[in-house]
Structure 1
Amino acid sequence: MRGDGRGRAVARWLLIAFYGVAGVAHLIVTDAMVAIVPRLVPFPREIVILTGLCEMAGAIGLMTMRWRVAAGWGLAAYALCVWPANMQHAIHDLGAGTGLSIWYHAPRLALQPVIIWWALWASGAIDWPWRSQHDANPRGERGQREI
């Protein structure tokens, strides 16, 4: 992987703030989070607390060179795994009229793949889509052109 550029560093620190705040929120407003856990998930209160700790651990991991890439993969997997809870949250809010509209939930659900990519790119786990031609061909050889 290439070294960190300013954009990647900014993206990483924004992600650290995002997951740090979210992790703390899981511990402070636990009951509100429990309400959106899908019914199939056992021990919802404990899961909410555990996921908050995972978010904070991921944020801390992103701050270190040693754990940065692993934290990126972990946070990407986490974002994928909580997608059903986000869907359940949308269904709950839109059905029960608890205040958050489709204008909150639709972008949140649609942007989940972006959040997954963000964790991978900001951590340095992937370079896509900004991989340079030199990175793609480390020996500097020219490929055959297709006609």
Structure 2
Amino acid sequence: MKPYVPTNATQKIFRIILGSFMILAAIGHLTFQREEFQAQVPKGIPFFSEDFIVVASGVVELIFGLAILFWKSNRVYVGIALAIFYVLIFPGNISQYTNGIDAFGLDTDRKRLIRLFFQPVLILWALWSTGALKAMFTKSDK
């Protein structure tokens, strides 16, 4: 699979938006929304505190945000890695729903349930905007 696939202007715009969201989320993880992000961490994760997980995921989100914006030569791999990251953090969203935890204005079961359906959108957004979808479904010349 090629690490770089040319993308169109629409994909570039959406990639910039996604990268900006990732950087903003990272800042929130590390500062003003730290407690709300802790509410999404599933209970009972061994070895790590909720705060450590929030800070670590904030650092990872910052790296992804910067990489999706600036690491053109490996954009496809960044898109795939970001999609995997979205899959890995999905249990936190499920935990927030199943445990009825209020955070980020999600103060009803209905709002928390609707939020769950946005995770697949983020996964596809990361794959599409980076050209990863095309790279995964295009036959290699090798």
Change (3 A) 1:66 1:99: closer
The question of whether the paired residues in 2 share the 8 Å contact of 1:93 and 1:99 is answered with no
Q: How far off is 1:103 after superposition?
A: 4.5
Q: How many residues align?
A: 131
Change (3 A) 1:53 1:67: farther
Structure 1 vs Structure 2 CA RMSD: 2.5
What is the rounded CA distance, in whole Å, between the counterparts of 2:101 and 2:74 in structure 1?
39
Residue 4 (str. 1) matches residue 11 (str. 2): no
Q: How far off is 1:37 after superposition?
A: 0.8
Q: Counterpart amino acid of 1:11?
A: F
Within the candidate set 70, 75, 79, 2:77 is matched to 70
Moved more, 66-75 or 113-122: 66-75
The question of whether the paired residues in 1 share the 8 Å contact of 2:29 and 2:58 is answered with yes
Q: Counterpart amino acid of 2:133?
A: I
What is the rounded CA distance, in whole Å, between the counterparts of 2:121 and 2:93 in structure 1?
15
Q: Identity of aligned pairs, percent?
A: 25
| TM-score in terms of structure 1 length | 0.76
Moved more, 86-95 or 111-120: 86-95
**Residue 85 (structure 1) aligns with:** 92
The question of whether the paired residues in 1 share the 8 Å contact of 2:39 and 2:101 is answered with no
**Residue 40 (structure 1) aligns with:** 44
Q: How far off is 1:34 after superposition?
A: 1.4
Q: How far off is 1:73 after superposition?
A: 1.5
Residue 59 (str. 1) matches residue 65 (str. 2): yes
Q: String of CA shifts for 1:53-77, please: whole Å, max 9, x gaps.
A: 1111001001121232222122111
What is the rounded CA distance, in whole Å, between the counterparts of 1:65 and 1:87 in structure 2?
33
Q: How far off is 1:80 after superposition?
A: 0.3
Q: Counterpart amino acid of 2:129?
A: A
| TM-score in terms of structure 2 length | 0.78
Change (3 A) 1:66 1:105: same
Q: Counterpart amino acid of 2:37?
A: M
Q: Secondary structure at the match of 1:39?
A: coil
The question of whether the paired residues in 2 share the 8 Å contact of 1:62 and 1:69 is answered with no
Q: How far off is 1:23 after superposition?
A: 1.0
Structure 1 gap ranges (5+): 139-147
After the TM superposition, which parts of structure 1 deviate over 6 Å for at least 4 consecutive aligned residues? none
